[in-house]
Amino acid sequence: MGPGSVYRGGVLAVSGGPDSTALMGCAALVPRGLPVIVATVDHGLRPASAVEAQAVAALAARLGLAHRILAWTGPKPAAHLQEAARAARYRLLAGLAREAGADLVLTAHTLDDQAETVLMRLCAGSGPAGLAGMAPARALDGVTLGRPFLGVPKARLVATCDSQGWPFVRDPSNADPRFGRARLRRLMPLLAEEGLTPGRLVRLAGRLRRDEAALAQAAASALSDLRRSGPDGHGTLILDGAGLATLPEAVALRVVGLAVTALREDAAADPPRLGQLERIVLGEVLPALREGIPCRRTVAGLLLAAGAGRLSLSPAPPRRPSRPHPA
């Protein structure tokens, strides 16, 4: 959703809560230049979800907007339910966009959501990339995911719905203490009293997003300069070890992370954890390169071998099966 972006059509993700209802209502007030479809994902997790989806359909019809209900079918996981529901929601929304010939999915994430996300990631020990929070726009399965309300407080959207007479519902899971986001939401007023307001958390995210973009660009440029070969037919990539060792550690860490990502066969797999990369790259590989001593470590199924002034990355050999203990 950058300057000059041109889109063919959009899918509005509307659950029926105040934020997404305001998104739908505001879209209806805008002169129709972009064809839109309102989509409600029924996760089937609460008895009232089907009724709520029908209520969104009724309001969409009243506003003159097309509407689709997307059902999340199949077994639901017992653990990490909210994460699984989020992944299913985005998959269904992107699928509808492609089916309809649209290339934009819009969600109603607010300033409050961004602040909670930053706080959750802080609690999880995230680095700058995680603390940068949600991006205003990003790629999503061949379409663009946009968040136009990311700088808007939730209270303003609630007030907009009230003033326009747009009915909405409140999801009880938003206050369910079983979920981490709900527990942190209850803490936000106390943190605000100490000065850690949602606005300050969002400004922190913006600053870190800016810095992370600069570091990512520096790392991509450094990887191009330091690459000596590969990946070759054996899946090996070689970097100039001396040059890597002289980089600022934040850039060197990202260079190795980019190289690892470039070599992994399963592009959809989760990237290596920041803590693991820090421990191995900063704690062992870079010191070995600086001191000119060999070092071999495994990260995300890849062998990192430092020595002879270079760092090579290649698929790790299969582990030997453990021998059974004698009876």
Give yes or no: residues 47 and 139 share one domain: yes
Among 187, 203, 219, residue at a domain's last position: 203
Final residue in a domain of this structure, among 165, 186, 203: 203
Do 53 and 91 belong to one domain? Answer: yes
Residues 185 and 238 grouped into a single domain: no
* Two tokens, residue 98: 């492609």
Q: Is residue 176 part of a domain?
A: yes
Q: Count CB neighbours of 62 within 10 A.
A: 11
Claim to verify: residue 129 and residue 267 sit in the same structural domain: no
CATH number at residue 74: 3.40.50.620
In a shared domain, residues 31 and 168: yes
Per the listing, tokens 């097309």 go with 66
Task: Let me know whether 86 and 137 are in one domain.
Answer: yes
Residue 68 within any structural domain of the chain: yes
**Structural domain count, the chain:** 2
> For the chain, percent helix, then strand, then coil, each to nearest 5?
50, 15, 35
**For the purposes of burial, counting CB atoms within 10 Å of the CB of 172, is it exposed (0-12), middle (13-18) or buried (19 or more)?**
exposed
Report the CATH number at residue 299. 3.30.465
Q: Looking at the structure, do residues 183 and 234 belong to the same domain, yes or no?
A: no
Residues 158 and 36 both lie in one domain: yes
217 Cβ neighbours under 8 A, 6+ residues apart: none
Note down pLDDT in tens along the chain; length 327 residues: 655 566 788 999 999 999 999 999 999 998 877 889 999 999 988 888 999 999 999 999 999 999 999 999 988 888 888 889 999 999 999 999 999 999 999 999 999 999 999 999 999 999 999 999 999 999 999 999 999 999 999 999 999 999 999 999 987 777 778 788 889 999 999 999 999 999 999 999 999 999 999 999 999 999 999 999 866 656 899 999 999 999 999 999 999 999 998 887 654 456 678 899 999 999 999 999 999 999 999 998 899 999 999 999 999 887 766 566 555
18 is in an annotated binding site: yes
Residue 214 lies in a domain: no
pTM: 0.85
Residue 322 belongs to some domain of the structure:
no
Identify the domain containing residue 298 by its residue range: 230-315
pLDDT for the residue numbered 51: 94
Q: Does one domain contain both 237 and 167? A: no
164 and 264 fall within a common domain: no
The per-residue pLDDT for 59 is 98
Whether residue 118 is found in the same domain as residue 48? yes
Q: Does residue 54 sit in the same domain as residue 106?
A: yes
* 15 labeled part of a ligand binding site: yes
